[in-house]
Structure 1
Amino acid sequence: MTAALGIPPAGPVRAWGRVPRELSARVPAEQRGPGLDRDAVRLLVSRGTQVSHHAFAELPRLLRAGDLLVVNTSSTLAAAVDGWAGHTRVVVHFSTLGDDGRWAVELRDPDGQGTTRARAGGPLGTVVRLPGGVRLVLEEPLSTRGERLWWARVDGAEVCELLGAYGRPIRYRYTERDQPLSVYQTVFALPDPPAGGPGSAEMPSAARPFTHRMVAELVSRGVQFAPITLHTGVASAEAHEPPYPERFAVPEASARLINAVRAGDGRVVAVGTTAVRAVESAAGPDGVVRAAEGWTDLVVTPERGVRVVDGLLTGLHEPEASHLLMLEAVAGAAAIDRGYQEALRHRYLWHEFGDVHLLLPDEGTSL
C-alpha cells in the first residue's frame, strides 16, 4: 500500500461550539489523587436524546447479561523519536507500517510542551538523522491532500528496535507532561498483536478506563468480550482529518461470537471508534461479520450507517473531528448534539485521559 485512498472530508463544526481549554484532561485519572485508579472517570450515557450521568465504575449495571463488548487488542508504540533534518531539530512520529517495509511518518517541531506543532514534510529525499546512526528518508507523500504524512524508508536499524531504545509515547500540548509507555497501554493490549503491524501510534483510548477488576465484574455479570485488532495511525489535533487506511484483523472466533449475539437478545457495543471501524469493515451488506484482515479505508458516516454495532463507548471528541460522523451513524445527530451539550454543561473532561461517553439504543426504558 503506497497511498491513502480517497476519503470524504471531515464534517462541519457542530453547533455546540468549541471546547474550553480547561476541559482537557491533563493527566491520567489515577494521578489526580490518592487511591484513584484508571476507572476514576465520569461516564455520560446517551439513549437517544435521554442523557444521564454516572461514574465509570457503574458500567456493569448499565449493561446486561448477553451484551458483547468489542475491544481492540492493539498495543501502543513509543512512536515519537527526536531527530535532525539538516540543522533543525525535529520530532518524528512513526504512524503506520506499509506492506513494502516503509513507514508513514509525520515530522513535527518540538516546543517543550509536547510535539504539537506540525510541519510540512519534504521535499522529496529529505534525510532525517535519528539516534544510533539511523537515517530516515522521505520518499513520497501519503496522500495528494497534503504533505503532513510521508512514506519514508528507514536505514540502519529495525524501527521497532529504534522505538524501544529511543522512542516515547506521542503526546500533545493539552497534557501536562510526558508519561511512561505503560500509561498508554489498555488492559486489552497484546504485546504481539495480529493484523500485520507492531501496534498503534496512538492509544485506542476508549478502553483506557477499564481495569482488570472491571473486566472480571463484567464477565461475572454475563457480559462477553470479542477481541479485534486495529492499529491506529497518528491523529492530528490541528487538521481534524478523516482517518487514513489502517491495518485490522477480526478473528474467526470473534466474528462467530458477534453474529451469535446479534441473532439473540444481546447488544454489540464497540469500545472505541477503532472497534467500530474494524467490525464494520468485516461485515457484509447482509450484516454478517466474517473473519477478515488487511487494510481498511472505511469511513463510517451517517449516510453509510452501521450494520453491526448497536452501541459505542468512546471518548469525547473535538467539534471538528471526523469521528463525530461515526457517532452520528451509531446514535443520530440529535443524540450526539444533546450529549455534547450536557458534557460541556457538566464540565466533562476531553481527550485520551478524559471522561467517556456510552451510546446505547433508545429502547424506551429509563436509565
Structure 2
Amino acid sequence: MTVTFSLPPALEARTPAEPRDGVRLMVSRGTSVSHHRFTELPHLLDPGDLLVVNNSGTLPAALQTLDGVLVHVSTSQPDGSWLVELRDTDIARTGLRLRVPEGSLTLLRPFTSRLWVAAADVPGDRVSYLTRHGRAIRYSYTDRDWPIETYQNVYATVPGSAEMPSAGRPLTGAVLAALAGQGVLVAPITLHTGVASAEVDEPPYPEWFRIPPSTAGLISHVRASGGRVIAVGTTVVRALETGTGEGWTDLVISPDHPIRVVDGLLTGLHEPRASHLMMLTAVAGEDALRESYTEALREHYLWHEFGDVHLLLR
C-alpha cells in the first residue's frame, strides 16, 4: 500500500465539532471525489441501503496512578487480566506494581511493543472501575481534556471501548431521523475498541465483538434486495468481515483479504502509515484512496476523532 502523505498540524482537529453534524463529508466513488456537509448524508444514500453502527460506549480509560504514572486501560482479557499501556514506557517491566485508587495493577508480561498484560487487583470489573476513577483518553493534538460525554455516540448503549468509535460521532438524532425518512436502514453491532496510540504504527489486536441475529438477518435481506451495506467505522468492517455471532476477532483487513460483506465505509481521516489505511485500500482500491487523500489535503479537511468524515463507496 503506497498511499503516503504528511499531515500538517493545522489539519488536526483540536476541539470537538459542535454541532456534531456540522463537519464536512467527502464522498469517494472510485477515483471520483465530491465534497459535502455531513447533513447531506441521507440524500447521498439510496432507499434500502443499510448503515451498520457500532453501539459500543466509550469508557474513561485513562487512569492516573498514585505513583504519578498515566495508564491507558485497553481491553479485558478472557482470563480477567487487563491490557494496559504505560505512557511512560521507560519504566515498564515485568513485576512492576502500580498503585491505583482502591487497588493495584501489576505488569505480568509484554503483549505488543507498547501494551502489557496486567493483573488488576481492584473492586469490580473494568467498566465499573474506570467509570469511577478514569477520565477520557486524549492525545497531544487536542487542546485539553473533554468530558467523557464528548466521546459518546448518540446510539452508544453498551459501554466497553477504550477509545471512541468516532466515525459515528456526526450521526445526530436529526441525521438519523432524516435517514429513516429517506428509507435508509440502521442496525447495530458491538465491538469494544482497544487503545490505538497515535504515536505508533501497528496492526489491531484481538477485540471482542457481537453481531445480533437481527442485524445479521437484516444484512442478508438488504444484500438479497440489492441494497448496500455501509459500515460506520473500521470497527464495524472488522466485525462484519469476521463472521456472525460473538467472540474475539484478530482479523486484520488488507488488500490481500477480499471484502465480502461491506459495500461502503463511513470513516474519519486516518494518519499516515496507520494500519486502517490498509483496510480502506481493501474497500476502495489504492488509486481511489490516493485520490481522495490528495483531495482531503488540498481542501483542508480535518483529521482525528473530532474531524471531518469520509464516505467510500465501492
The verdict on a shared fold, with TM-score over 0.5 as the criterion, is yes
- 1:254 aligns with 215
1:265 aligned to 211, 219, 226, which one? 226
Q: Deviation of residue 122 (structure 1)?
A: 3.0
Question: Which whole-Å CA distance do the structure 1 matches of 2:288 and 2:7 have between them?
Answer: 18
- Provide the aligned length of Structure 1 versus Structure 2: 313
Letter in 1 for 2:107: L
1:345–1:162 CA distance, 2 compared to 1 (3 A) = same
2:140 alignment counterpart: 173
> Runs (4+) of structure 1 moved beyond 3 Å?
none
Displacement, 1:187? 1.3
Q: Which residue of 1 aligns with 2:123?
A: 157
For the residues of structure 1 that align with 2:175 and 2:105, how far apart are their CA atoms?
42
Aligned to 1:365: none
CA distance in 1, matches of 2:91, 2:32: 45
Question: What is the CA-CA distance between 1:120 and the residue it aligns to?
Answer: 4.7
1:110-150 C-alpha deviation (Å, 9 max, x unpaired): xxxxxxxxx15631110011123x1100111113xx2x101
Whether 1:137 and 2:132 are equivalent positions in the alignment is: no
Normalising by structure 1, what TM-score?
0.83
8 Å CA contact retained: 1:316, 1:357 = yes
* Correspondence list, 1:35-46, <5 A: 37-46=19-28
Matched, 1:65 2:47: yes
Indicate the percent of aligned positions where both proteins have the same amino acid: 58
Q: How far did residue 84 of structure 1 move?
A: 4.3
SS at match of 2:21: coil
Contact 2:54 2:235 in 1 (8 A): yes
Is residue 2:167 matched to residue 1:206? Answer: yes
Whole-angstrom distance in 2 between the partners of 1:58 and 1:156 = 47
Name the counterpart of 2:82.
103
Alignment match of 2:271 (pick from 318, 332, 340) = 318
Q: Structure 1: which 5+ residue stretches go unaligned?
A: 1-10, 31-36, 110-118, 283-290, 362-367
Whether the 8 Å CA contact 1:25–1:350 is kept in 2: the answer is yes
Question: Any conservation in 1 of the 2:127–2:160 contact (CA below 8 Å)?
Answer: no
Residue identity opposite 2:246 in structure 1:
E
Render the CA deviation track for 1:171-204: whole Å, top value 9, x for unaligned.
Answer: 00000110001000001210xx2xxxx5100000
Contact persistence 2:122–2:129 (CA under 8 A)? no
Q: Give the structure-2-normalised TM-score.
A: 0.97
What secondary structure, in the 3-state scheme, does the structure 2 residue paired with 1:64 have? Answer: coil
| RMSD after superposition | 1.2
Aligned partners of 1:329 and 1:259: how far apart in 2?
Answer: 21
Establish whether residue 182 from structure 1 lines up as the match of residue 135 from structure 2: no
Alpha-carbon distance in structure 2 between the residues aligned to 1:44 and 1:120: 40
Partners of 1:211 and 1:304 in 2: how far apart?
A: 33
- Look up the match of 2:65: 83
Quote the Cα distance in structure 1 between the aligned partners of 2:134 and 2:84. 14
In the alignment, the residues of structure 2 paired with residue 273 and residue 217 of structure 1 have an alpha-carbon distance, to the nearest angstrom, of 23
